[in-house]
């Protein structure tokens, strides 16, 4: 069976390369609009050895005909969509581009999978929630109430997939970090090493997600689909929530990053969000309820500090 990964050179795409390198009989094709960075290639080799697939097939997922063509030519049974417009602040002034990548492009992937009876595994976000002041973990069936353009366009992407009639698994995740690219952990590793003092918001609460853990779950979902009885529907299709276990603020997250990396001289203090002017108000509480994904796929989820420790250790390898 052939699985096509979009955004193969992003954070999650690179973690999919590592998971796929661990074996299995299925063929993975990694696609993106950009080439892999030299830094990511070095990290992939360190973490997954020489057997890891470093190749990138160029595919722009906003081009429906290009998507259809590769799906038919390669006999693709599953698309894992790791590509997106992920700049939350930037989306406020680039609404058309965010809509194209986060809403129209997933619709393209959904139509291509509908045509061949395949599965679309699409990644969405906790930022589809947040405008309502929740204080209990968000469930899958709760109405989306995004606070900004990024969350709104990701919600449109989900709605387009549902309307397409394709087989789908949508996984909403949160606060994603990895050894690759630009993310909160890598930024804070740098800042806590170089600044004597740092203020970090404590009034936004959620749960971090190590992209390596999410990639393993995507692999498991894909296997579940490929081994399910062939038919017009997939019994486990639907929307799911996935992050690591536990709850923290960005301030708590930073404190643990500093502790695990030994950056103990930086004085980290909690502050309010309004001390950092931003074009978009972020959710105050976007903890995800993960009961459904655990029950459906029989998975257990690592606690957030355990996965953070692992990632920080990996980052010190290069
Ligand atoms: N990052 C988070 O904190 C977070 C939180 C919740 C959910 N998510 C969701 O998780 C998923 C993965 O996020 P990530 O952080 O791994 O993203 P990422 O690192 O930004 O990777 C996305 C990849 O997609 C590529 N891409 C951009 N436009 C494309 C196009 N037209 N066709 C094909 N590929 C294209 C990007 O290239 P460029 O680098 O050139 O743009 C990049 O390589 C996304 O759906 C995101 O919305 C992320």
Residue nearest to atom 17 of ligand 1 (CA): 10
Where is average pLDDT lowest: 102-111, 122-131, 222-231, 296-305? Answer: 222-231
Q: Quote the ligand 1 centre to 269 CA distance (angstroms).
A: 30
Instruction: Give the helix/strand (H/E) hosting 253.
Output: helix 250-261
Among 63, 86, 209, name the best residue to mutate to test ligand 1's pocket (greatest count of ligand atoms within 8 A of Cβ). Answer: 86
Asked whether residue 6 carries a pLDDT value surpassing 80, the answer given is yes
**What would the two tokens of residue 5 be?**
């990964």
Alpha carbons 166 and 237: distance in angstroms, whole number: 10
Residues with CB under 6 A from ligand 1: 6-7, 9-12, 32-34, 60-62, 82-84, 86, 101, 123, 125, 154, 173-176, 181
Asked whether residue 297 carries a pLDDT value surpassing 70, the answer given is yes
Asked whether residue 176 carries a pLDDT value surpassing 80, the answer given is yes
Q: What is the mean pLDDT of residues 255-263?
A: 97
Alpha carbons 288 and 136: distance in angstroms, whole number: 9
pLDDT-based confidence at residue 196 (cuts at 50, 70, 90): very high
- Tell me the pairing of strands 209-210 and 119-125: unpaired
Q: Quote the ligand 1 centre to 98 CA distance (angstroms).
A: 11
Q: Counting atoms of ligand 1 from 1, which one is nearest the CA of 211?
A: 16
For residue range 22-58, what is the model confidence (pLDDT) as tens digits? 988 899 999 999 999 999 999 999 999 999 999 999 9
Q: Quote the ligand 1 centre to 142 CA distance (angstroms).
A: 24
Alpha carbons 266 and 192: distance in angstroms, whole number: 6
* Residues 6 or more apart whose Cβ sits within 8 Å of residue 266: 191, 192, 193, 195, 196, 197, 198, 258
- Strand, helix or coil for residue 267: strand
Per-residue H/E/C for 106-175: HHHHHHHHHHHCCEEEEEEEHHHCCCCCCCCCECCCCCCCCCCHHHHHHHHHHHHHHHHCCEEEEEEECC
| 193 touches 238 (CB < 8 A) | no
Q: Quote the ligand 1 centre to 85 CA distance (angstroms).
A: 6
- Strand, helix or coil for residue 288: strand
Q: Is 127 designated active site?
A: no
**What would the two tokens of residue 117 be?**
């009876």
Spacing of C-alpha 27 from chain mean position: 21
Among 33, 67, 96, 204, name the best residue to mutate to test ligand 1's pocket (greatest count of ligand atoms within 8 A of Cβ). Answer: 33
- Residue 183: the pLDDT is 97
Residue nearest to atom 15 of ligand 1 (CA): 11
Among 8, 44, 63, 84, name the best residue to mutate to test ligand 1's pocket (greatest count of ligand atoms within 8 A of Cβ). Answer: 84
Q: What is the mean pLDDT of residues 4-31?
A: 96
Q: Quote the ligand 1 centre to 6 CA distance (angstroms).
A: 9
- Residue 134: the pLDDT is 80
- Residue 29: the pLDDT is 98
Spacing of C-alpha 186 from chain mean position: 16
Asked whether residue 229 carries a pLDDT value surpassing 80, the answer given is no
Residue nearest to atom 8 of ligand 1 (CA): 125
pLDDT-based confidence at residue 104 (cuts at 50, 70, 90): very high
Asked whether residue 302 carries a pLDDT value surpassing 80, the answer given is yes
pLDDT-based confidence at residue 318 (cuts at 50, 70, 90): low
Q: Quote the ligand 1 centre to 82 CA distance (angstroms).
A: 6
- Residue 84: the pLDDT is 98
What distances in angstroms separate CA 286 from CA 134, 170, 297, 299, one per listed residue? 8, 17, 23, 22
Asked whether residue 231 carries a pLDDT value surpassing 90, the answer given is no
* Residues 6 or more apart whose Cβ sits within 8 Å of residue 15: 178, 180, 211, 212, 214, 215
Asked whether residue 317 carries a pLDDT value surpassing 90, the answer given is no
| 136 touches 205 (CB < 8 A) | no
- What does pLDDT average to over the chain? 96
Q: Counting atoms of ligand 1 from 1, which one is nearest the CA of 13?
A: 16
- Residue 149: the pLDDT is 98
């Amino acid at each position: 069976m052939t699985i096509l990964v979009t955004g193969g050179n992003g954070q999650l795409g690179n973690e999919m390369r590592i998971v796929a390198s661990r074996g299995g009989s299925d063929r993975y094709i990694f696609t993106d609009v950009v080439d892999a960075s030299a830094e990511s290639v070095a990290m992939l080799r360190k973490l997954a050895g020489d057997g890891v697939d470093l190749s990138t097939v160029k595919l722009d997922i906003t081009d429906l005909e290009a998507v259809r063509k590769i799906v038919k030519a390669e006999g693709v049974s599953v698309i894992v969509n790791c590509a997106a417009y992920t700049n939350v602040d930037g989306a406020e002034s680039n609404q058309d581009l965010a809509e194209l990548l986060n809403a129209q492009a997933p619709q393209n992937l959904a139509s291509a999978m509908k045509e061949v009876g395949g599965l679309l595994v699409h990644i969405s976000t906790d930022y589809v929630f947040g405008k309502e002041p929740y204080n209990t973990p968000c469930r899958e069936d709760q109405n989306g109430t995004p606070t900004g353009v990024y969350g709104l366009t990701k919600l449109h992407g989900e709605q387009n997939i549902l309307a397409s009639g394709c087989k789908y698994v949508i996984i909403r995740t949160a606060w994603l970090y990895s050894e690759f690219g630009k993310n909160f952990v890598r930024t804070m590793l740098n800042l806590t090493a170089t600044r004597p003092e740092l203020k970090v918001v404590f009034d936004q609460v959620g749960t971090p997600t190590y992209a390596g853990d999410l990639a393993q779950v995507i692999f498991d979902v894909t296997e579940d689909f490929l081994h399910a009885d062939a038919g017009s529907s997939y019994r486990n299709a639907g929307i799911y929530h996935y992050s690591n276990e536990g709850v923290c603020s960005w301030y708590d997250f930073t404190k643990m990053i500093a502790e695990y990396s030994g950056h103990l001289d930086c004085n980290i203090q909690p502050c309010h969000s309004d001390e950092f002017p931003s074009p978009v108000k972020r959710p105050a509480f976007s903890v995800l309820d993960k009961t459904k994904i655990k029950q459906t796929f029989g998975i257990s989820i690592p606690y957030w500090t355990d996965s953070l420790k692992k990632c920080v250790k990996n980052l010190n390898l290069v």
